[in-house]
């Protein structure tokens, strides 16, 4: 079932920066005249504008293609994404290899304009295209014993040349609690800006969990396993003291090596101002209840 969650940011917000700036100037002008109330319904768009396509596709952490931010754009062309299938196994009624084409024929692709916050304290705003993960899980039929969802990225060092380095333990793995996976915000993304997912951004299909740090949003997924145990996650295995299982965006809980209170929007050049980081990356209203009674400092 698509459209469970309605974006308060619509396609109209996918506007060129110049137009956005004009609108902003206009509104500032109106505020000066005491006419702010007459401005079109003040949406979050006043402080949120989509990052340029070129920026989203040239600044990536996709360590399967190298450790530099430009490496994925340079090397991801080697990746072959056809044929592609996702193995869904574990506690499901209908385990098996699901061909991507078959999956997509059953899904409604939506546009979701989400904030994207990297654990390294930079951020973007991305117009994703995709479907809700829950719809895919429903396809496989999640059994009642399942409590977690584990994800795995493709392991193919001949094409993903970064996998030849011991930077991380390959393949990359991630995980969500089942209720997080079923949340209507949790997206399986197949494109950005209406185009097929660029290879450097995790083609052909990736996860997007907008209230968590970017590394949770695992790319180029080939396997999804339903399980009753908290699955291992790559960065947690690598540096457990810095990267937890939950990794919810939280300005109150610092990374041991830097503050998470603010973030640098990418694409603004030398003098881009930092902006305050929002709890759950601005999706507190939607997801905070998932963590009722949990110590978010302990469960970082």
Partner 1 sequence: MINTLNTLVRKVPNWLLYLIGAAYPAWLLYAGFTGGLGVDPVKAMEHALGKAGLQVLIAVLLITPLRRFTKLNVLSWRRALGVIAFFYILLHFLVWMVLDVQIISQVKADLIKRPYIIVGMISLLILLPLAITSNNLSIRNLGPRWRKLHKLTYLAVALGGVHYIMQTKGFEYEPYIYLAVVLGLIAIRKLPKKRAAHPAKRQAA
Q: Note whether 271 binds partner 1 by CB under 8 A.
A: yes
Binding part of the chain for partner 1, among 2-10, 62-70, 195-203, 289-297 by CB under 8 A, reads 62-70
Instruction: Give the number of other Cβ atoms within 10 Å of residue 246's Cβ.
Output: 21
Instruction: Give the number of other Cβ atoms within 10 Å of residue 14's Cβ.
Output: 17
Q: How far is the CB of 219 from partner 1 (least distance, A)?
A: 16
Q: How far is the CB of 43 from partner 1 (least distance, A)?
A: 26
Smallest Cα–Cα separation from 103: which of 131, 129, 67? Answer: 131
Nearer to partner 1, 41 or 273 (CB): 273
Nearer to partner 1, 96 or 240 (CB): 240
Beta strands in the chain (DSSP E): 85-90, 96-99, 110-117, 122-132, 148-153, 173-177, 187-192, 195-196, 206-208, 221-227, 262-265, 275-276
Are 254 and 297 a contacting pair, CB within 8 Å? no
Q: Note whether 67 binds partner 1 by CB under 8 A.
A: yes
Binding part of the chain for partner 1, among 26-34, 109-117, 137-145, 253-261 by CB under 8 A, reads 253-261
Nearer to partner 1, 118 or 197 (CB): 118
What's the CA angle centered on 67, arms 126 and 155, to 5 degrees? 85
Structure tokens at 48: 């949120």
Q: Residue 93: is it exposed, middle or buried by C-beta count within 10 angstroms (0-12/13-18/19+)?
A: exposed
Nearer to partner 1, 36 or 239 (CB): 239
CA-to-CA separations, 229 to 45, 87, 291, 300, in angstroms, rounded: 39, 19, 18, 18
Nearer to partner 1, 59 or 131 (CB): 59
Tally of CA atoms within 13 A in the half-sphere of 108 that contains its CB? 6
Q: How far is the CB of 52 from partner 1 (least distance, A)?
A: 8
Per-residue x/- mask for partner 1, residues 178 to 217, rule CB under 8 A?
----------------------------------------
Nearer to partner 1, 67 or 145 (CB): 67
How far is the C-alpha of 80 from the C-alpha of 63, rounded, in Å?
17
Binding part of the chain for partner 1, among 14-22, 96-104, 270-278, 283-291 by CB under 8 A, reads 270-278
Nearer to partner 1, 159 or 242 (CB): 242
Q: Note whether 272 binds partner 1 by CB under 8 A.
A: yes
How far is the C-alpha of 182 from the C-alpha of 53, rounded, in Å?
28
Residues of this chain that bind partner 1 (CB under 8 A) = 54-55, 58-59, 63, 67, 69-70, 120, 122, 165-168, 238-239, 254, 256-259, 261-262, 264, 266-267, 269-274
């Amino acid at each position: 079932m698509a459209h469970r969650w309605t974006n308060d940011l619509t396609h109209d917000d996918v506007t060129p920066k110049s137009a956005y700036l004009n609108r902003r100037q206009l509104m500032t002008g109106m505020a000066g005249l005491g006419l702010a109330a007459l401005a079109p319904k003040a949406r979050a768009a006043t402080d949120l504008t989509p990052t340029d396509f070129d920026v989203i596709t040239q600044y990536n952490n996709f360590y399967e293609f190298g450790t530099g931010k430009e490496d994925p754009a340079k090397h991801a062309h080697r990746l072959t994404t056809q044929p592609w299938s996702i193995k869904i196994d574990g506690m499901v009624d209908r385990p098996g290899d699901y061909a991507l084409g078959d999956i997509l024929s059953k899904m409604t692709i939506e546009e979701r304009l989400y904030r994207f916050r990297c654990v390294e304290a930079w951020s973007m705003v991305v117009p994703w295209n995709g479907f809700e993960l829950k719809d895919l899980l429903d396809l496989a039929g999640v059994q009642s014993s399942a409590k977690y969802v584990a994800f795995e990225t493709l392991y193919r060092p001949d094409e993903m040349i970064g996998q030849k380095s011991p930077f991380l333990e390959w393949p990359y793995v991630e995980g969500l609690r089942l209720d997080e996976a079923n949340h209507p915000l949790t997206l399986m993304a197949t494109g950005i800006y209406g185009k097929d997912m660029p290879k450097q951004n995790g083609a052909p299909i990736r996860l997007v969990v907008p209230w968590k740090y970017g590394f949770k949003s695992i790319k180029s997924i080939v396997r999804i396993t339903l399980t009753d145990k908290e699955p291992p996650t790559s960065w947690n295995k690598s540096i457990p003291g810095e990267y937890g299982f939950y990794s919810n965006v939280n300005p109150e809980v610092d990374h041991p090596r830097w503050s998470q209170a603010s973030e640098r929007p990418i694409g603004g050049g030398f003098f881009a101002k930092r902006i305050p980081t929002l709890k759950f990356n601005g999706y507190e209203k939607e997801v905070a209840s998932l963590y009722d009674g949990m110590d978010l400092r302990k469960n970082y």
